[in-house]
Structure 1
Amino acid sequence: MRDHRPILILDSGVGGLTVLREVRFKLPFERLVYVVDDAGFPYGAWGEEPLTARLIGLVGALIEAHDPKAILIACNTAFTLAGEALRDAFPARVFVGTVPAIKPAARRTRSGLISVLATPGTVRRAYTRDLIDTHARECHVRLVGSDRLAAMSEDHLRGEDVGDAALLAEIQDCFLEDGARRTDIVVLACTHYPFLVNRFREVSPWPVDWIDPAEAIARQLARVVAEVADARDREAPDTAIFTSGTCNAASRQLMAGFGLLV
């Protein structure tokens, strides 16, 4: 018997669409509900306790409304803070989280100089520093927090102009020179940032490898969700929910471009 319950994908904005794109490739027969917590955007501006309480309350309401088979928290800031609390609050539910891709970066670097580009919330987390201690002790890892890039990504996706100088100001601290060595890998530790990666390449002082974790996240989700063998009921479309209860024309068009009905 097929399980028609959806997979929930939650982010504060549109960044999780980078993950949704990969989930569709890995799990083409699953029904997806994409939740935009625009009423709470940006998560990086929240204190730890209020954001944890908000996420537990929001996820509880979503579980009651949708009875999902799995919940993907497509936000580094949210999961590095509240992943454990969510699993404790809802022990019967399957959670898949998003964490900075420090382990693969440490394996791939040649110079030993890695930067992690994230929100200030992710930079502050003990979780992030534990990843560095566990997987990248032999590397020099620079944590770079940006207050503005998530919003700039949203503007870029909606067709608004994001200037080169403004972008460079947000990413320039990622580029470190130490003698003959240079930063060669930048971890994109916010799901919003891959939407700007081509612009990053244009303004960067030298080429680096930009690590987008979306494919690895989708692969992990596929491990914990049994894919059905035949096409799902097309009468149940993939949908998007905005927690503010409002969705302007540009956002509606963007969701439609990703195959989501608002």
Structure 2
Amino acid sequence: MARKFFVGGNFKMNGTKESIKGIVKNLNEAQLDPNVEVVIAPPALYLQLARDELTKTGVEVSAQNVYNKPNGAFTGEISVSQLKDLGVHWTILGHSERRTLLGETDEIVADKTKFSIDGGVSVIWCCGESLQEREAGETIAVIERQLAALAAKVTAADWKSIVIAYEPIWAIGTGKVATVQQAQEVHEAIRKWLRANVGDEVADSTRILYGGSVNGKNCKDLAKEKDIDGFLVGGASLKPEFVDIINSNQ
């Protein structure tokens, strides 16, 4: 089954009105591969700005987080209905920076994912292992534990609204990147787990992205691997080379 290449840009807590406008202008004017689905995730303050500035077909806006409760007395949080009110239909969930810094457990991330999908917002669901876990040979076990928590909450139909992003924690923002072989091995293991525990259709159709210091130099080699269906890009999404990453599958 053909899987449409997908590139997400996670701006994290970076950007100003001026810089966000500049990034969006660059995307609007660039020659982007029409066979790639592109999603950019600016800070929540700039979601509306990014939506208003974007004119490029095939580029959408994503939140970086969403709360798993309806509107109400939840200071500082953003609801699914508020995202939809802005015309935002994607969110990133389970990023290691939220798992480690804010204590979001596998179960919390899974619950948020289900709540988002039920509300009509698709999810870029992140998973990944620490350096200590990799060196202990626990990479696949960690990923499978995270996947199991997700699978326990979502239905088979929900998977069409999920894009998986494998982000080894030790390679996020460090300048280190998994080798092509390391990345492919984990992506292959994720697809194998989906096939065994969810089903062939989900395993064949679910897109699995690589994240972790992806840049304009390493993206083309990574994109050639059969189980790497795109990227979730951090720092490089703030730079002009983001266009090269989007076009890396050509």
- Give the TM-score range, shorter chain: 0.3 to 0.5
Larger radius of gyration: 1
Q: Which is bigger in relative contact order (C-alpha 8 A, separation at least 6)?
A: 1
